[in-house]
Amino acid sequence: MNAKGESIVEQLLQRQALRRWTRTADEVAMLDHAGLRSVRSRARALKRQLDRVIHETDDRLTLPMIGSSAMRRPAGADWSWRPEPWRARLPVPGMAEIGNRTEAAPGVTLFHDCRLSELSLRQIRNQREADLAPFGMRLDVFRFDGSFLSLAIGLPPAAVAGLRRKHIIRLDTIVEVEKPLEIFARLNVKHGPNVEQIVRELPLGAQEVMVEFDLAHTQMNEKRVEGMWVDLIFEGPRMNQITLRDVTLCRRPRAEL
C-alpha cells in the first residue's frame, strides 16, 4: 500500500479521526478523572501503533536504503557482493558472551579460543553521508585471554562459478577502531581435498581499505573448486571496539599482457 493507493474513503476517515483527536485534546482540561483515564488509555493504545509506524518508516527512509547493493567496484569486475549483515536487517541484531564458532548470520561466523568470553557483536544502522552499506557490524572486546579472534565470511556459489587462476579477488572494507591493532584478511579457496590460502594485512591507515588476492600465485585446480571464504583476523583485540561499516567483495580477470 502507498499514499497514492489510498481511497477517497480512507482519506476522509483519516481526516475525521484527526479532527476527533484534535477535539479531544482541546477538551481534556474539562474532563473528570474517569474521563481522563479513559482518554489516556485510548491515546496510549493509539500511540503504540503510531510509534511502530514512525519507527519503521524512519528506518526504511534513512539513507542508505535497506537492501542497497550500491558499492564501489573496479572496471571489468564479473562478480560483486555485499554479505547479508551489511545489507539487510538480521533477525537477532546482537549477542553477548559469544562462544566459539558462533554464527552471527548465515555464512558469517565468529571464531575464538577464549576460556571466558567477554565479546559482544551487534548490527548497527549506518547513517553517515559517506556510507553505501545500510548496516555495519560492531565487535566489542573486553578482557581477552585467547590466542585468536576471527570473523569468517563464506562466499556464495556465484563467487566460484567459472573461477580461474587468472582472477583477482578484491576485498573492500570500512573499519573504525578505538585503538590501533592489526587486521589480516585471509582468502581460502577449497579445491578437492586442498585449501589454497592467501593472507594480506589491511592497510588501516589508508583512506581506502582494500586488499587484492591474485589467484595466479596459487596451485588452485580450476576444475575442482568447491568453495571460497574470507577470514578477518584480529590481532591483539583486547579492550577494543572494532566497527566494520562495510564489507564488499568482487572478482575481476587479470589484464592480459
CA 137 to chain centre: 5
Vertex 107: Cα angle to 103 and 113 (nearest 5): 45
Please report the pLDDT score of residue 40 as a whole number: 87
Nearest to 231 by CA among 208, 247, 216: 247
- DSSP state letters, 105-149: ETTEEEEE--SS--EEEEEEE---TT--SSEEEEEEE-S--SS-E
Using one digit for the tens of pLDDT, what is the confidence trace for 14-41? 888 888 888 888 887 888 888 778 888 8
| Average predicted confidence (pLDDT) for the chain | 87
Measured CA distances, 25 to 20, 35, 48, 49, 188 (Å): 9, 12, 18, 19, 64
Domains plus CATH for the chain?
3-61 (no CATH), 79-253 (2.60.120)
Which DSSP category does 218 fall into?
S
Cα–Cα distance, 199 to 211 (Å, whole number)? 10
pLDDT digits (tens, 9 = 90+) for 218-249: 999 999 999 999 999 999 999 999 999 999 99
Q: Kindly report, residue by residue over 112-165, the tens digit of the pLDDT.
A: 999 888 999 999 999 877 788 999 999 999 999 999 999 999 999 999 999 999
Please say whether the beta carbons of 179 and 206 come within 8 A.
Answer: no
CA-to-CA distance for 164 and 174, rounded, in angstroms? 28
Average pLDDT over residues 180-197: 96
* 154-180 residues labelled b (16+ CB within 10 A) or e (exposed): ebeeebbeebebebbbbbbbbbeeeee
21 class by beta-carbon count within 10 Å (0-12 exposed, 13-18 middle, 19+ buried): middle
pTM: 0.75
What's the pLDDT score for residue 64? 56
Question: Hey, which residues does 10 pair with through a beta bridge?
Answer: none
> Closest Cα to residue 162, out of 108, 217, 228?
228
For 193, other C-beta atoms within 10 Å of its C-beta total: 7
Rounded-to-integer distance, Cα 66 and Cα 133, Å: 8
